[in-house]
Amino acid sequence: MKEVRVRFAPSPTGPLHIGGIRTALFNYLYARKNNGTFILRIEDTDQTRYVPGAEDYILESLEWLNLSFDEGPVKGGPFAPYRQSERRLIYRQYAEKLIENDFAYYAFDTPEELENKRKEAEQQGHVFKYDQKTRLTLKNSLVLSVEETKKLIDNQVPYVVRIKTPENIVIHFHDIIRGEVSFHSSEIDDKVLLKADGLPTYHLANVVDDYLMKISHVIRGEEWLSSTPLHVLLYEFLGWKDEIPQFAHLPLILKPNGKGKLSKRDGDTGGFPVFPLQWKDPFTGEVSSGYRESGYLPEAVINMLALLGWNPGGDREIFSLQELTGIFDLDRVGKSGSKFDPEKAKWFNHHYIQIIDNHLLINILKNELLKRNLYYDEKKLDKIISLIKDRIHFTTEIFQHCWYFFSAPESYDEEFRAKRWKENTADIIRSLLDFLRNIESFTAENLGVEVKEFIQQKGYNMGEVMNPLRLCLIGSPSGIHLFDLMEVIGKEETIKRIEQGLINLS
């Protein structure tokens, strides 16, 4: 079997969508499963759409998700450089080779002339295409003489290089996911290969780099399926027919309702991220939420994305990145789009929070406490995290679920107070307070036994004691089991809060 070499080739034109992350993941998994090489290549030839900071965002996103690449920017490799803007001199020679062999041509049409052609076509009820039918009516080297063409080039008249799409042929290729695919050449226009600024378009740069970097499999989104026949032609025209990589076009990630491709707007309206990290637009200042900043763990994002379009077989849904590398197979990737389910993403994150080592969550909690200048006992943090973990869906929720371990309530839920603090409640809580002062073992287990005995002996019911006690200790009906809280904050703090509650609530 040919050595597996795959690439993830994003463009630094903005934040990386989770669809792009899934493409990176599937390339990574395929490489690792087959002892191959995973390459990161930055396709930045479209300088008009380049966004400052986007490349760093791509690198940071992959790092956060633990998708380490073997070759790429910063890291280097045998086929460096891995930014296409740094390889611009490479592409021209291949464009010229195509022209020499009559597979491409110079086109001198100005943007204004082409725009006029589009408007004329619209007025006649059809769409203008620069293709086999129209190219001989336009200003290019297929129409101009060799002398005229040379004169225009010598006079530095701007031009592009276009592929000369063959007439009346069918282009076939095999897709690992979709099987045999074919396009008629009439469906393909004469795409620009080399732009007027001397930089290649995606089509030429992608094919040349995939060949030079010995890419064995091109795993990318289905939006590139319609461009593949053009790429197949370029491989053939450049004499690389035997080196055409295997193609695998991944299905779309769909909106939650299944109607159309998932977009940033869907995230904005649905209240969920569609980007791995938070992104601040350098031009508008607009901030888009990211999975990391929204409190997701990278393990959860990876697991969730892996199951969008890929079916491992069976009912199992939880897979670590290491487990995925052992079982991933492109044959189990489906053709149909997969609906994104924000609730399922939340479910995955909740699961991983339950099984992750407490140390990570403790560090997050420490940062929150430091921001608020709250004192904490290092020895108690592990216990606190263990008590609240099952309530947490996002790491951003940690403090809100355990603030009462570190500070007494400053206010009291009015609705809860109206329901639970009755005329005789203060007397009941005072008697409980006197009882608690005499308890020596302030463990949750012993408190449970002792307080329940106290309630029985006094003839109270559980609700008329425990609800007001919760109001004194936490200030609201939410929170963990009170005896666990009392053990952690200790006898002195428990008594202090009850005393303050009696003053504030009576």
Computed over every residue of the chain, the mean pLDDT equals: 96
Number of Cβ within a 10 Å radius of residue 496: 13
DSSP designation for 167: S
Residue partners of 13: CB distance under 8 A and separation at least 6: 46, 49, 50, 51, 54
Q: In the predicted model, is pLDDT for residue 90 greater than 90? A: yes
Provide the terminal-to-terminal Cα distance of the chain, rounded to the nearest Å: 80
Q: Is the dihedral of CA 466, 472, 476, 478 positive or negative?
A: negative
Task: Give the residue among 445, 350, 424 at the shortest CA–CA distance from 393.
Answer: 350
What is the Cα Rg of the chain in Å? 32
433, 486 in Cβ contact below 8 A? no
Number of Cβ within a 10 Å radius of residue 296: 25
121, 128 in Cβ contact below 8 A? yes
Overall average pLDDT of the 469-488 stretch: 97
Q: In the predicted model, is pLDDT for residue 506 greater than 90? A: no
Written as six digits, the tokens of 153 are: 């080039």
Q: In the predicted model, is pLDDT for residue 2 greater than 90? A: no
Which among 264, 339, 344, 346 is annotated as catalytic? 264
Helix 482-505 vs helix 381-388: angle between axes, to the nearest 10 degrees?
90
> pLDDT band at 48, cuts 50/70/90?
confident
* pLDDT for position 457: 96
* pLDDT for position 129: 96
> pLDDT band at 1, cuts 50/70/90?
low
Overall average pLDDT of the 92-101 stretch: 97
Strand partners, 253: 338
430, 438 in Cβ contact below 8 A? no
98-127 pLDDT, tens digit per residue, is 999 999 999 999 999 999 999 999 999 999
202-252 pLDDT, tens digit per residue, is 999 999 999 999 999 999 999 999 999 999 999 999 999 999 999 999 999
Alpha-helical (H) ranges within 334-380 are 342-355, 358-371
- 164 tagged catalytic: no
DSSP reduced 3-state for 204: helix
Written as six digits, the tokens of 314 are: 């069976």
Strand partners, 181: 173
41 to 31, 74, 79, 466, 481: CA distances (angstroms): 15, 11, 10, 61, 53
185, 167 in Cβ contact below 8 A? yes
Strand partners, 192: 162
- What's the rounded Cα separation, in Å, for the pair 377 and 359? 15
> pLDDT band at 23, cuts 50/70/90?
very high
Strand partners, 174: 180
The helix/strand count (H/E) of the chain reads as 18, 13
Residue partners of 229: CB distance under 8 A and separation at least 6: 171, 173, 183, 185, 187, 188
45, 328 in Cβ contact below 8 A? no
Overall average pLDDT of the 43-54 stretch: 92
- What's the rounded Cα separation, in Å, for the pair 247 and 283? 36
